[in-house]
Structures are given as structure tokens and as C-alpha cells.
Amino acid sequence: MKKKYILILFLVFIGVYSGIKTIQSNLERLQDLEIANVDLTEVVDGTYTGSFKVFPIIAEVKVTVKNHQITGVELLKHQSGQGAPADKILDQIVEAQTLKVDVISGATYSSKIILKAVENSLNNAIE
């Protein structure tokens, strides 16, 4: 019976270790994630959705464009762990009219995921 518990504990340890390694690997990929600036002169007026995820962070956004300007960005979904402060980046995008904004300190990975989701939504809008 004791061997069975040791085996179960070992398998749980392997599962947790694998999960942690996967998350670390995914977050390392985010360090080099490039955010392309979308040419707003090519974006048709409308409302567009986009998403991006790198486990464990997920973002889905709705972007409104009028007269080739971003008039609003709404966060539809944001699973972020400790990256909730990244939500502030939405206002920066609208104010700057570009995706080339500084990430939010302390929420770098979530900021990048949100920016990539906005990029994806705008790419869906290009004529």
C-alpha cells in the first residue's frame, strides 16, 4: 500500500513539474514577442474582435475604428493571473493611435498578449 502512495506522489510531482516547465517556456517566448504596428489608413470603419493566448494568459478584445482611428478598445476576456494592471494599456492604445506603446510595468506579459490581440483584430479589418 505504501508503494502505491509513493507512486501517486511521484506522478503528481511529475505532472506539476511538467506544468511549471510549460508555463516557464511559454512566458520566455513572450519576452521576444513582436507587436507589429498596423497601418490604420488601411483599416475599414467597423468593430473587430481579436484574441491571442499563450498559456496561462488569454486576451480577447473588441476594437472600434472610425475614420481610420481607433475610437475604442474593449477587453472582452483577460485571464492573466497577476497581470490585471495591463488593462490600462487599452487607453494608451486609443490615445497614441498605435500599438507601439510601453507595456505596463509589473504586467509585461499580459500587456503583450493584449497588444497582440489588438493587432490581430486590426489585421482582420484591413481591406
Lowest mean pLDDT among 7-11, 64-68, 74-78, 95-99: 7-11
46-82 burial, b at 16+ Cβ within 10 Å, e below that, comes to eebebebebeebbbbbbbbbeeeebeebebeebebee
Q: Does residue 123 sit in helix, strand or coil?
A: helix
pLDDT of 54 strictly over 80:
yes
Supply the CATH classification number for the domain 40-123. Answer: 3.90.1010.20
Q: Directed axis angle between helix 2-31 and helix 108-123, to 10°?
A: 60
Give the pTM.
0.80
SS3 for 74?
strand
Contact 51, 117 (CB under 8 A): yes
Average pLDDT rounded to a whole number, residues 43-48: 94
Domain positions in the chain: 40-123
